Amino acid sequence: MREGTAPLIRREDYTAPAFWIRTVDLTFDLDPAKTLVINKMAVERNPDQPGASLRLDGEDINLTRVLVDGEPVSFRVENQQLVLDNLPDQPFALEIRTTCAPGKNTQLSGLYTSGGGFFTQCEALGFRRITYFLDRPDVMSVYKVTLKADKLKYPVLLSNGNLVEQGAIDADRHYAVWEDPHPKPCYLFALVAADLVSREQRVRTRLGKEHLLQIFVRAGDLDKTEHAMQSLMASISWDEIRFGLSLDLERFMIVAVSDFNMGAMENKGLNIFNTKFVLANPATATDVDFGNVESVVAHEYFHNWTGNRVTCRDWFQLSLKEGLTVFRDQQFSQDMAGSASARAVKRIEDVRTLRQLQFPEDAGPMAHPVRPDSYMAIDNFYTATVYEKGAEVVRMMHTLVGEAGFAEGMKLYFQRHDGHAVTCDDFAQAIADANPESELTKRLDQFKHWYTQAGTPRVQARGSYSAEHKTYTLHLSQNCAPTAGQPAKLPFVIPVAMGLVAHDGRNLNLHLEGEALPIGTDTVLVLSEPEQTFTFVHVPVEPVPSLLRGFSAPVVLQAELGDDALFTLLTHDKDPFNRWEAAQRLALRRLLQAVSGHGPAELDPRFIQALRGVLRNAELDAAFKELVLTLPSEAYVAEQLDTVDPQRIHTARESLKLQLAKALHEDWIWAWEQHNDCGAYSPDPVSSGRRALANLALSMLCLDGATRHNPIWTGKAFQRFKDANNMTDRLGALGALVNSHADLAPDALSRFHEQFRDEPLVIDKWFTLQAAAPEKDGKVFARAKALMQHPDFTLRTPNRARSLLMALCQMNPAAFHRPDAAGYVFWADRVIEIDSINPQLAARLARALDHWRRLAEPYRTAAREALGRVMAKPDLSDDVREIVTRALQ
C-alpha cells in the first residue's frame, strides 16, 4: 500500500527519462496467491544524462532477482524505487523477477482478480504494481508477453497485439504468447486470463484490410454484446470518414469485467471495460445505458489514435488525450443521433453534465486548470475538468477554425507527432498551424489560458437598441473569480455564437457595423478583451439577443433578460439549445425565488402556459420536451447560491414540481397516452425520447396522485411496471412509484429484486433508485443506511458501492445533508472503511463534501467535523488525503 506521505508532484519539474526501455519481454506465471513475473528489458541510456542512476518504480511487489546482461548486480530499494547505479553507457539487458498477489489486490490497480479471472488496470500508475519499471508515459516500448495459467480455470489468455503462439505446458496448464508491434507506454499494457466467451465479427475497412473484432464476456452475458459490437463497428467507420483514421491492428478486443474503478480503459488492442459500459440488452439496460455503451465504446476506440498512437508526455497533459477523445465521442454520438433535433438533445445532455459536475468543481477546493500544475495522486485528476471542460476547449478550437480546418489540424497533428509522447501545447499548435488565418491562430497564446487558468469565466451581456438608427449595440464583458493559487486571471478567448430574435419570432439577419454585407442569422463573435462592444446595423425592430448558441463556450452567461425576452427565445429561437436554456432560466428564476422566500411560492400562469405550449407543440420532439419540462436539479440551484441550505432547496423544488404536476394534469395524461406505446424496443433517439417523456408524465401523475391519495395512477404505474417489455419502461414505472412514495412501491421493489437477482447491473439500479429517491421525513436516508446490510451489498465491487453511496451522498442532497449530521457521520465512516480497501474509490466518495464551506449552519460545522475525522485516520491514503486536505485548506 502506498504510504500517505507523498510530496506534491509539479508540472514544472518535468525532466526527460534517464533511460529508455526499447523492448519488454514479460512472462507471467499466473496464480491468485502468488504470481511470478519475469521482466526482460532492453535498456538504453539517454545520452543527455550520462552517469545517472536508473530508478524503476515498484509498489506492493516482492523483488526476487535483478540481472544486468545476465549477471547479478548490486541494487537498493528506496521510496518504492529500485535503484541501479553505475550502469553501462551501451545498451544492456535488464532482467527483473518479482511476485505479486493478485487475489489480494482490492485496489483494482495493477493485476487483480475478479469473478475468478485475472485482469489488469495500469493507467495511471498500475504497471508498477506488476513489475519494476519506468512507469511514465514518455517511455515507450515494444512488448512481447507470455501468459501461463491453469487451462480449466483460465481458458482464455489475452494480451495486447497479436497472438503468435499458444499451446499446452502440461496436463493442467497452458500458455499463450502475444506480440504488440506498436511501441507503447506501460499504462497501455493489459492482460486477461479468465473463463470467457466471445462475440466475433470480421470487418473490412476502407483501406481494404481485414480485422477481427471480439467482445469477451462471462458465459451468461453473450446476449448483451450486440449493441457494443454495433457501436464498435460504427466507431471504426466514423473515424475513417471524419478524420481519415483507420484501425491499425489485425485484432481489436473488448473485455468486460465487473470489478473496475472507472468506466473503461483503452489498452492497445485490448480494451477492458466496466460491464456497465459494455453489456446492454432491452431487458436489462435502459435507453441511457444504451447511449452510454455507444459513447464509451467509441471513446475507448478513438483513443487508439488520440491517446495511443500519440500519447501524453506526462500526466499533467492528461487532457491532451481525454479532452480530445471526449470531444470526438461527443461528435460521434451527435452524428449517430442523426436529426438536428436529436443532435441538440445530445448537446443539452452534455452541457447539463458539464454544469452539474464541472462548474461546481471549478468553484470548489478541487478547482484545477485543464492542464493541472501539481498533484499528490494523479488518479484524483481524472476529473470533469480534464475530461468535460477539456472537451469544451477542443470544441472551441473547432468552432474557431471550422470543421474542415479542424480536420486539417488533426492531420498535421498526426504527421508531426505519430508515435510520440507530447503536450497540450503541441496539439494546439498543430490545429493553429493548419489554419494560419483563423481567429485561433491570431490569438493562440491567449487562447491557451483555457489550459492554464482554473475557474469558470462569467460573461456579462448588455444590449441596447436605437429605434432611430436601427442599430443594436451588444456590450460583452468577462471576468473569472480567483481560484486556489490563481488570484488574478487574464482574459480568455471566448467564442460567442449568437443571433438576434424579434419578438414576433423572426430570426433577424445580422449585419455588423463596418462590414459590407449581412452574414445570415447566426454568427460567432470572439470576445478576447475584458470588455468589447459589437454594433449591428439595419436592425428593423428591437431584438432579443440569443447568445452562446449551442453553448459555444464553457462560461456562465449573465444576460439579464427579462421574462418577456426569455419567453420569446423559448418559443422562437432557431437554436434549440437556447430554447431549452430559456426555459431553464425561467424555471431557475422561480426556483430561486421560492428558495429565498422572496417572491411568490406559486408558479405564474404564464410560465405554466409556456411549458404547456412546449409539451403540446406538434413540431417538437419528445426528447426535447422532456428536457424542457424537467426542472433544474437541486445541485444546479445550489450552484447559484452563496449560502446553500439543501433542505430549503429540496422543499422549494419539490413544491414547484408538484405544482407542475397539478397544473398540467390533463397535459400529462395526454402526454402519457400519446407516448407510452413505442412498440418493439429500439434504442434510437425518437423512441427513447418518447419513452423519456412518457416516463416523466407517469412520474408527474403518480406524484399528484400520491398527494391526493388517489390510487389510479400509481395503480397504472404498477401495471406498467409488471407489463413493460424493456428496462427503460420498467424502471421508469418503478421510479414513478418509489419517487412518489406510493404504497405500492415496496411490493414493486421486492418483485424487481426477485426478477433480476442474477443481473448485477440491474441490482445496482435497484440500490440506486432507493438511495436517490426524494427524501421524505428521513425515510430515504434510513432506508439507504439499512441497505448496507443487504446480502447483495458489498464495498468491494466499485459499481455496487457507488450504486448506494454515490446515490445517497452525491445525488441526493436532501437525504445526505441532515440537520442531525447523521449523513456526514455515515459518509466519514464509509470513506474510512473504503480507504483501506480501495483508495481510488474512497477518494471519489470523499468529494461529496467538497462544498462544505458554502453550506448554511448547522450543516457547515458538522461537515467540517466529519472531514476532520477522515483526516485523522491513521494510514490515510494519498488519494483521500489530497481531497480532504484541499477541502480543509
What is the DSSP-derived secondary structure letter of residue 144? E
- Per the DSSP assignment, residues forming a β-bridge with 63 are 98
The residues assigned a catalytic role are 300
Per DSSP, 542 falls in state P
Q: Which residues pair with 37 in a beta bridge?
A: 28, 98
CB-side neighbour CA atoms (13 Å) of 272: 31
| Min separation Cβ 414 and ligand ARG, Å | 19
Instruction: Between 83 and 262, name the residue whose CB sits nearer to ligand ARG.
Output: 262
The rounded distance, in Å, linking the Cα atoms of 562 and 456 is: 24
CA distance linking residue 583 with residue 561, whole number of Å: 12
CB 718 within 8 A of CB 737: yes
Q: Which is nearer to ligand ARG, 321 or 395 (CB)?
A: 321
Smallest separation, CB 698 to ligand ARG (Å): 35
Which amino acid belongs to residue 577? F
x/- string (CB under 5 A) for Zn ion, residues 320-359? --x--x----------------------------------
Chain centroid to CA 137 = 22
Min dist. Cβ of residue 635 to ligand ARG (A): 23
- DSSP reduced 3-state for 512: strand
DSSP secondary structure letters along 261-277: SSSEE--TTEEEEEGGG
Q: Give the shortest CB-312-to-Zn ion separation in angstroms.
A: 11
In the complex, the smallest distance separating the C-beta of residue 507 from ligand ARG, rounded to whole angstroms, is 39
State the residue for C-alpha cell 445580422.
510
Which residue, 120 or 399, has its beta carbon nearer to ligand ARG? 120
Instruction: Report, in Å, the least distance between residue 318 CB and Zn ion.
Output: 9
Minimum distance of ligand ARG from residue 844's CB (angstroms)? 10
Q: Which is nearer to Zn ion, 325 or 740 (CB)?
A: 325
Query: Do residues 508 and 500 make contact, with C-beta atoms less than 8 angstroms apart?
Result: yes
DSSP string, 365-407: TT---SS-SEES-GGGG-SHIIIIIHHHHHHHHHHHHHHHHHH
The long-range contacts involving 611-616, CB below 8 angstroms and separated by at least 24 positions, are 611/583, 611/660, 611/664, 612/664, 612/667, 613/571, 614/570, 614/583, 615/664, 615/667, 615/670, 615/671, 616/667, 616/670
Residue 877 site contact among ligand ARG, Zn ion, none (CB < 5 to 8 Å, cut-off depends on kind)? none
Query: Of 263-322, which residues contact Zn ion (CB under 5 A)?
Result: 322
ω before 124 within 30° of 0 (cis)? yes
Q: What is the spatial distance between Cα 623 and Cα 636, in angstroms, rounded to a whole number?
A: 21
When CB distances are held under 5 to 8 angstroms depending on the partner's kind, the choice from Zn ion, ligand ARG, none that residue 379 binds is ligand ARG
The number of residues making up the chain comes to 889
Short-list 201, 91, 208, 189, CA closest to 142: 189
Whose Cβ is closer to ligand ARG: residue 260's or residue 577's?
Answer: 260
| Partner from ligand ARG, Zn ion, none binding residue 262, C-beta < 5-8 Å depending on class | ligand ARG
| Residue nearer to Zn ion on the CB measure, 238 or 580 | 238
Q: Give the one entry of ligand ARG, Zn ion, none that residue 265 binds, where binding means its C-beta sits below a cut-off of 5 to 8 angstroms depending on kind.
A: ligand ARG
Nearer Cβ to ligand ARG (354/821): 354
86 DSSP assignment? S
Residue from 504, 532, 548 nearest 399 by CA: 548
* Closest distance to ligand ARG from the beta carbon of 840 (Å): 6
Rounded Cα distance, 630 and 758, in Å: 33
Question: Which residue ranges make up the site for ligand ARG (CB under 6 A)?
Answer: 123-124, 261-262, 264-266, 299-300, 322, 379, 382, 840
Binding residues with Zn ion: total (CB under 5 A): 2
Contact 126, 187 (CB under 8 A): yes
Per DSSP, what are the bridge partners of residue 84? 54
Q: 585 in helix, strand or coil?
A: helix
Q: Which is nearer to ligand ARG, 386 or 527 (CB)?
A: 386
- Tell the smallest beta-carbon distance from residue 378 to ligand ARG (Å): 7
Among residues 322 and 639, whose Cβ is nearest to ligand ARG?
A: 322
Residue 262 C-beta: closest distance to Zn ion, Å: 9
Residue 778, by phi and psi: left (phi above 0), alpha (psi -120 to 50) or beta? left
Q: Are 8 and 372 in contact (CB under 8 A)?
A: no
Dig out the grid coordinates for 9 from the structure: 508532484
500 close to 544: Cβ distance less than 8 angstroms: yes
Residues near Zn ion (CB under 5 A) are 322, 325
